[in-house]
Amino acid sequence: MSAKTSKPDICVIGAGSGGLTVAAAAAAFGVPVTLIERDRMGGDCLNYGCVPSKALIAAAKTAETMRKAGRFGIGESEPRIDFAAVNDHVKGVIGAIAPNDSVERFEGLGVEVIKGDARFVDEKTVEVNGRRIEARRFVIATGSRPFVPPIDGLKETPFLTNETLFDLRDCPDHLIVIGGGPIGMEMAQAHRRLGAKVTVLEGGTPLGKDDPELAAVVLKRLATEGVRIEAGAKVVRVSGTQGAITVTAERGTERFEVTGSHCLVAVGRQPNVDDLGLDAAGVAFDRSGITVGRDLRTSNKRVYAIGDVAGGPQFTHVAGYHGGLVLRPLLFRLPARAKHEEIPHVTYTDPELGQVGPTESEAREKGLDVSTVSWPYAENDRAQAERETEGLVKFVVGKRGKILGAGVAGAKAGEITNLLTLAVARGMKFSDLQGFVSPYPTLSEIAKRAATSYYSPYTRKPLVRGVVAFLRRLG
Ligand SMILES: Cc1cc2nc3c(=O)[nH]c(=O)nc-3n(C[C@H](O)[C@H](O)[C@H](O)COP(=O)(O)OP(=O)(O)OC[C@H]3O[C@@H](n4cnc5c(N)ncnc54)[C@H](O)[C@@H]3O)c2cc1C
Ligand SMILES: NC(=O)c1ccc[n+]([C@@H]2O[C@H](COP(=O)([O-])OP(=O)(O)OC[C@H]3O[C@@H](n4cnc5c(N)ncnc54)[C@H](O)[C@@H]3O)[C@@H](O)[C@H]2O)c1
């Protein structure tokens, strides 16, 4: 062994949600682990993703609450927004969380942290800063970056992505958002509420991965707040200079232009597989990411891949889930089997939009014999009290009331999605959801109420009524 070769038990590449989970847990069991990160500790979620976006959304919601205070009898007012101060708030939230993910904390846990670009040089060796690391097992957790599509003129024009958006100190006059997925819609509403004019150009269906009936609740609110949403509008050209950007979109044979001050590109993600030496390592990959089985193992048996780079659903909770799962084979030689069917997702627009399990159309496409049961927010007392009556919970139900999937659009949908996820993940039936006492008044009662409604036809069945009448006669 040369002086520059180390042999930890586990080498983790990437200190985002996935990599940090593995490194912290392995170190807690006293296993020698080396963690390599080339950029900021905490990865996308902390620095360029979930955390700054949710902090911005919280500021934007506060502004909107001021505008709408009149419905509570409180004088409403147009907020005076200091965008630079809002940006300070966003950076402050990142700063408050950053110590949890810092080099110091991880070194304190017993992890060796190396700042640098990791690259496989052969099937069992990674090189970083001229140092060689031969670990028993490797975990690739290198995440993803914004996909920059080959749109005519885009490369020559200034544009924003999630990596630069949260550095803006002035509110855009007119933000043009290319892509109506979760990033596009969350950021469109937040910037609109903070004072920008906003246009979203979506080539297909906005929030198209969600149930259309639920997505419609969110889209209606965004439109009411003044976000211009152009569906079926594929962007084909971008031109202009800083502060004056023209975006050309096509809808069928129609072509139209939108001119704004800024342009955010939010058309999906690209896995970080380049420059990792994956060919030298014998790790198979394609455009969607590193190829893994359900056990998250790659084509090289020493190497696992987790999180965004592993080609599956791209969420922080998935990266964390993967991180926990691979500990089974890494530390205990136990099998791991990722189950993505029960992974929820929530889009943090206002109202929020959550889903777990198949939507109605996904279930029908799979040939499943399903029915749906919905319940509106307007029938919930807490929703009335808080004047948050728009929205619904929608269940996809199989035989004998089995809950296969569930979605919710409305206030605090993310929190309600926790309950829905438990129901789907544990294979519950409506009888389970109906048969517990839910605190009153809570929004989650909407889910329970939907379950109760599933059984209400039974109260009208002659046989059931006959039994009730007979029992009454017994005194
Ligand atoms: C704007 C936005 C909002 C989001 N909001 C949410 C949300 O609300 N909820 C949610 O669940 N998900 C959200 N996501 C998705 C979430 O951020 C990702 O799914 C999550 O960060 C993936 O974690 P990861 O560990 O796989 O990768 P990452 O967090 O991206 O970490 C990968 C790390 O690897 C490092 N790296 C890459 N290559 C190398 C190399 N060769 N050598 C060394 N280091 C390397 C990178 O620098 C990075 O730090 C959002 C994403 C974006 C962009
Ligand atoms: N709340 C959350 O959990 C959250 C929030 C943000 C991001 N994320 C994660 O990040 C991922 C990426 O989000 P995203 O919104 O960038 O991607 P996305 O793939 O979900 O949506 C991108 C949209 O851009 C559209 N598009 C592509 N090319 C276009 C073009 N030329 N013109 C117009 N529209 C075009 C697509 O039709 C699609 O609807 C998400 O899938 C999710 O995994 C999660």
| Cβ atoms < 10 Å from Cβ of 337 | 10
Residue 218 Cα to ligand 1 middle (Å): 26
Whether 312 and 379 share a structural domain: no
The low-confidence residues of the chain, meaning pLDDT below 50, are: 1
Give residues with Cβ within 8 angstroms of 437, minimum separation 6. none
Question: CA nearest 383: which of 430, 449, 434, 453?
Answer: 449
Q: What is the 3-state secondary structure (H, E, C) of 67-78?
A: HCHHHHCCCCCC
Residue 431 belongs to a domain = yes
Q: What pLDDT score does 160 carry?
A: 98
Residue 464 belongs to a domain = no
Whether 135 and 276 share a structural domain: yes
**The total number of structural domains that make up the chain:** 3
Ligand 1: does its nearest atom lie under 6 Å from the Cβ of 289?
Answer: no
- Inter-residue contact 391 to 471 (CB < 8 Å): no
Residue 58 belongs to a domain = yes
Whether 69 and 21 share a structural domain: yes
- What's the CA gap between 116 and 80, in Å, rounded? 43
Whether 276 and 138 share a structural domain: yes
Ligand 2: does its nearest atom lie under 6 Å from the Cβ of 267?
Answer: yes
Residue 48 Cα to ligand 1 middle (Å): 8
Q: What pLDDT score does 1 carry?
A: 47
Whether 201 and 317 share a structural domain: no
Residue 43 Cα to ligand 1 middle (Å): 5
| Residues forming beta bridges with residue 353, ordered by sequence position | 347, 409
Closest atom of ligand 2 relative to the 314 alpha carbon: 43
- Whole domain around residue 229: which residue ranges? 154-267
Give residues with Cβ within 8 angstroms of 382, minimum separation 6. 441, 442, 443, 445
Please report how the helices 17-28 and 316-332 are oriented relative to each other, as an axis angle in degrees rounded to 10: 30
| Domain containing residue 10: CATH number | 3.50.50.60
| Residues forming beta bridges with residue 259, ordered by sequence position | 246
Residue 345 belongs to a domain = no
| Domain containing residue 366: CATH number | 3.30.390.30
Whether 409 and 299 share a structural domain: no
Residue 221 belongs to a domain = yes
- What's the CA gap between 278 and 272, in Å, rounded? 11
- Residue from 53, 151, 161, 202 whose mutation best tests the ligand 2 pocket (most atoms within 8 A of CB): 202
- Inter-residue contact 426 to 357 (CB < 8 Å): no
Ligand 1: does its nearest atom lie under 6 Å from the Cβ of 53?
Answer: yes
- Inter-residue contact 12 to 33 (CB < 8 Å): yes
The closest ligand to the CA of 230 turns out to be 2
ipTM of the complex: 0.98
Question: CA nearest 68: which of 60, 78, 58, 59?
Answer: 78
- Residue from 41, 45, 348 whose mutation best tests the ligand 1 pocket (most atoms within 8 A of CB): 45
Provide DSSP, 17-77. Answer: HHHHHHHHHHHHTT--EEEEESS-TTHHHHHTSHHHHHHHHHHHHHHHHHHTGGGGTS---
Residue 176 Cα to ligand 2 middle (Å): 15
Residue 308 Cα to ligand 1 middle (Å): 7
Residue 474 belongs to a domain = no
Whether 18 and 121 share a structural domain: yes
Whether 127 and 165 share a structural domain: no
- What's the CA gap between 411 and 32, in Å, rounded? 45
Listed residues 332, 366, 385: the one ending a domain: 332
Whether 297 and 417 share a structural domain: no
Q: What is the 3-state secondary structure (H, E, C) of 207-266?
A: CCCCCHHHHHHHHHHHHHCCCEEECCCEEEEEEEECCEEEEEEEECCEEEEEEECEEEEC
142 is in an annotated binding site: yes
Whether 199 and 303 share a structural domain: no
- What's the CA gap between 351 and 356, in Å, rounded? 17
Residue 468 belongs to a domain = no
179 is in an annotated binding site: yes
- What's the CA gap between 211 and 360, in Å, rounded? 7
- Inter-residue contact 281 to 127 (CB < 8 Å): no
Q: What pLDDT score does 458 carry?
A: 86
143 is in an annotated binding site: yes
Q: What pLDDT score does 370 carry?
A: 97
Q: What pTM, to 2 d.p., does this model score?
A: 0.97
Whether 316 and 172 share a structural domain: no
- Inter-residue contact 170 to 255 (CB < 8 Å): no
Residue nearest to atom 19 of ligand 2 (CA): 268
- What's the CA gap between 288 and 449, in Å, rounded? 40
The closest ligand to the CA of 310 turns out to be 1
Question: CA nearest 135: which of 30, 13, 275?
Answer: 13
